[in-house]
Structure 1
């Protein structure tokens, strides 16, 4: 994929991952282009879906989401028939920030944030464990965050 990108496009992606609020003029200056060619490249990267969206990253702790949990979910053999239902159910939970399908002992890995462990317990018993087909949930609470980034190595 990165073979399809020239050095300017890589620089554009790196800069926008650091600060998506840059104006085209600021971005162009940082990557060594004039504004028009820079803007055209950004437009192409967006059109091709390489730049999926531009967002503000919020510090979860500063808004009171102090607990981060990684939950490994195993569906029952019969639960696999409920795969779409499980996928829809977790998509409805704002506390679930990321969800991955796994190969191995567990079927899914979820990254979940809540205000505290009591809020996670309520989510666990009231919502997650009641999704049809869920056989087992193995929860691991993160004590501290060593590295967290959304920047891809381009």
Structure 2
């Protein structure tokens, strides 16, 4: 599966909006019968377009009121040390996202915490102690305008 047609894009769009749709509901929304829709969903999964299904949880309702963006600067490190740092980052549940970045810094992290005091302690006792970390620069979310949601599936 190298290219997506209109049905594939429609399936992806609907599943991004609601991953709990039954196959019958999905088929009706995209204009297919159930069996071809099911085959297309399985093909999209097998080809790696659909990576998985999960619930979106409101972080505020579970007591995670702080969202911080942390630019992590690493010392000049070799490949083995970089892999060690990556593995350490992956193992920390409070780090919900990590990206290599261009410009100043090595990584951009999204970190959640209960409150500022807890985040401060976490930054001092966990983040700055990660292997080969030189410095941290933190910005805090003051409010959310748009969260990661659906990917645009226009004419791709």
1:118 alignment partner in structure 2: 117
* Correspondence list, 1:101-116, <5 A: 101-116=100-115
TM-score by length of 1: 0.94
Number of residues of Structure 1 aligned to a counterpart in Structure 2? 153
Q: Which runs of 4+ in 1 moved over 4 A?
A: 78-81
Secondary structure, counterpart of 1:77 in structure 2: coil
CA displacement at 1:78 relative to structure 2: 4.4
Q: Structure 1 residue 67 and structure 2 residue 66: aligned?
A: yes
Partner of 2:36: 37
RMSD over equivalenced CA pairs, Å = 1.6
Q: For the residues of structure 1 that align with 2:57 and 2:38, how far apart are their CA atoms?
A: 27
Gaps of 5+ in 1: none
Tell me by how many angstroms 1:130 deviates. Answer: 0.7
Q: Which residue in the other structure is 1:149 paired with? A: 148
Q: CA deviation at 1:81?
A: 5.7
For 1:82 and 1:18, how far apart are their aligned partners in 2?
A: 39
Distance 2:80 2:103 in 1: 18
Report the 3-state secondary structure (helix = DSSP H, G, I; strand = E; otherwise coil) of the residue aligned with 2:61: helix
Aligned match of 1:54: 53
SS at match of 2:67: strand
The question of whether the paired residues in 2 share the 8 Å contact of 1:70 and 1:140 is answered with yes
Question: CA offset at residue 80 of structure 1?
Answer: 6.9
Q: Which one has the bigger helix percentage?
A: 1
Contact 1:25/1:35 (8 A) holds in 2 = yes
Q: 1:97 aligns to what?
A: 96
SS of the counterpart of 2:60? helix
Residues 78 and 53 (structure 1), Cα distance of their counterparts in 2 relative to 1, 3 Å cut: closer
| TM-score normalised by structure 2 residue count | 0.93
